[in-house]
Amino acid sequence: MSRFLLLTDIQDFERRLRAAVKGVMPGAIQRISAEAAHLTPRDLLTRSIGEPTDVVLFGPDVDREAAFRLARELDLQHPDLAVVLAGTPEPEEIVAAMRAGIRDIADPASDPAELRLLLERACLATDSRRRQGGEGSGGERRRGRVIAVMSPKGGVGKTTVSTNLAVGLAKAAPMGVVIVDLDLQFGDVASALNLDPEHTIADAVFGAAAQDSMVLKAFLSLDETGVYALCGPKNPADADLITSEQVAVLINQLAAEFQYVVLDTAPGLGEHVLAALEQATDAVWVVGMDVPSIRGLNSGLGVLKELQLMPQGRHVVLNFADRRTGLSVQDVETSIGIPVDTVVPRSRMVPLSTNKGMPLLTGATRDGAWRGLDKLAKRFAQDSKQEPKLPRQEVLQ
């Protein structure tokens, strides 16, 4: 049961919200006057009857300043509540709203279907925060797990594995997952998730976002499955402007806010990839079922051992598995000298999902590749219930 506390005196807005939840969401809306934005969080919440409040929604007629103040106080005193604002704020006001802890902003003219999506997202956020709050000791926030998906070679399935891992983890931790495209020149996370991002990693590492996580959050895109994404720059030349220190700071900021930070990377061991590895709690090595890919992984692992850049968690995904290659899983294990954790068979469903911009795990066809990717995501979700992993290097800031 989700209880929405709506502050507005506009009947038409209330009517559309009620239409949004009617019959489809097991929620109850309680409306109080827009004036209630001047109350303290305690007084506001005592006005809510019955089930505890999950989402506070400021209608378009609520005084903006009062709404921001109350949102800030709610964020401090009741961090598990989601606060949503209906309005068409100016860009500077959007940043102020995010800083105040406002989770989402809705156009007041939205139709019931759009409003329903907004409320669903807000409820997921509340659920996820409550679950996170229940873990750990004394409500202290743990640093999230940082999972770098890597391979020395291109085209072996890093983007496929990382986007599916993010989608799979978001099933266990809605709103708790962010994927970052660190293939800064030719990244394709946006296309794999069917996103047309307004902002990219280039916005996130320069200016206010690098100092302020709330501003940073305003630059993330949200895909249909509840995964946050920070996509690669639109212009490949921008990759040169981004330093490895900026990448490290960015990963740290995100790890403080999200339960899982999934990093898709460029092939090879360039400076951005090494910076990612320094911050990672886990590395997922993707290897194809062909000799060049296996050789590449072997020499890559050798270099990293020498540099002492191996994260604590190590996972090997054998992708494109196919008996017809003349190699077996054991052959691959013998060559790389470490066990394969997950096998993802070659599947014609994978390119189809890439081309549609819908990761395989969002679909219902459970073929071998689906099962392999699902197993990988579950491995992390299960693992995280146990001992927290440490990053190779603690916060640089």
Ligand X SMILES: Nc1ncnc2c1ncn2[C@@H]1O[C@H](COP(=O)(O)OP(=O)(O)O)[C@@H](O)[C@H]1O
Phi and psi of 75, rounded to 5°?
Answer: -60, -35
CB 116 within 8 A of CB 23: no
C-alpha to C-alpha distances, 64 to 22, 38, 232, nearest whole angstrom: 28, 11, 34
- DSSP-derived secondary structure for 194-236: T---SS-HHHHHSGGGGT-HHHHHHT-EE-TTS-EEEPPPSSG
CB of 188 to Mg ion, least distance (A): 6
Residue sitting closest to Mg ion (CB)? 159
Residue 157 site contact among ligand X, Mg ion, none (CB < 5 to 8 Å, cut-off depends on kind) = ligand X
Q: Distance (Å, rounded) from C-alpha 278 to C-alpha 242?
A: 17
CB of 168 to ligand X, least distance (A): 15
Q: Which C-beta is closer to ligand X: that of 159 or that of 279? A: 159
Residue 351 site contact among ligand X, Mg ion, none (CB < 5 to 8 Å, cut-off depends on kind) = ligand X
CB 37 within 8 A of CB 7: yes
Residues of 359-370 as b/e, b for ≥16 C-beta within 10 angstroms? bbbbeeeeeebb
Q: Which C-beta is closer to ligand X: that of 174 or that of 267? A: 267
Q: Which C-beta is closer to Mg ion: that of 61 or that of 188? A: 188
CB of 159 to Mg ion, least distance (A): 3
Residues 6+ apart with CB under 8 A from 328: none
Phi and psi of 122, rounded to 5°?
Answer: -65, -40
Q: Retrieve residue 43's tokens.
A: 């007084």
Where do contacts with ligand X occur on this chain (CB under 6 A)? Answer: 151, 154-160, 319-320, 344, 346-347, 350-351, 354, 369
CB of 81 to Mg ion, least distance (A): 38
Q: Distance (Å, rounded) from C-alpha 167 to C-alpha 165?
A: 5
Q: Which C-beta is closer to ligand X: that of 316 or that of 344? A: 344
Q: Which C-beta is closer to ligand X: that of 27 or that of 300? A: 300
Q: Which C-beta is closer to Mg ion: that of 34 or that of 192? A: 192
Q: Which C-beta is closer to ligand X: that of 151 or that of 253? A: 151
CB of 162 to Mg ion, least distance (A): 8
Residue 347 site contact among Mg ion, ligand X, none (CB < 5 to 8 Å, cut-off depends on kind) = ligand X
C-beta atoms surrounding 78 within 10 Å: 20
Residue 156 site contact among ligand X, Mg ion, none (CB < 5 to 8 Å, cut-off depends on kind) = ligand X
CB of 354 to Mg ion, least distance (A): 10
Residue 369 site contact among ligand X, Mg ion, none (CB < 5 to 8 Å, cut-off depends on kind) = ligand X
C-beta atoms surrounding 88 within 10 Å: 12
CB of 139 to ligand X, least distance (A): 38
CB of 158 to Mg ion, least distance (A): 5
Q: Which C-beta is closer to Mg ion: that of 126 or that of 160? A: 160
Residue 326 site contact among Mg ion, ligand X, none (CB < 5 to 8 Å, cut-off depends on kind) = none
CA dihedral 365→367→373→378, nearest 10 degrees, is 80
Residue 221 site contact among Mg ion, ligand X, none (CB < 5 to 8 Å, cut-off depends on kind) = none
Q: Which C-beta is closer to ligand X: that of 74 or that of 156? A: 156
CB 177 within 8 A of CB 169: yes
CB of 317 to ligand X, least distance (A): 10
CB 311 within 8 A of CB 283: yes
Where do contacts with Mg ion occur on this chain (CB under 5 A)? Answer: 158-159
Residue 246 site contact among Mg ion, ligand X, none (CB < 5 to 8 Å, cut-off depends on kind) = none
Cα 110 from chain centroid?
25
CB 12 within 8 A of CB 61: no
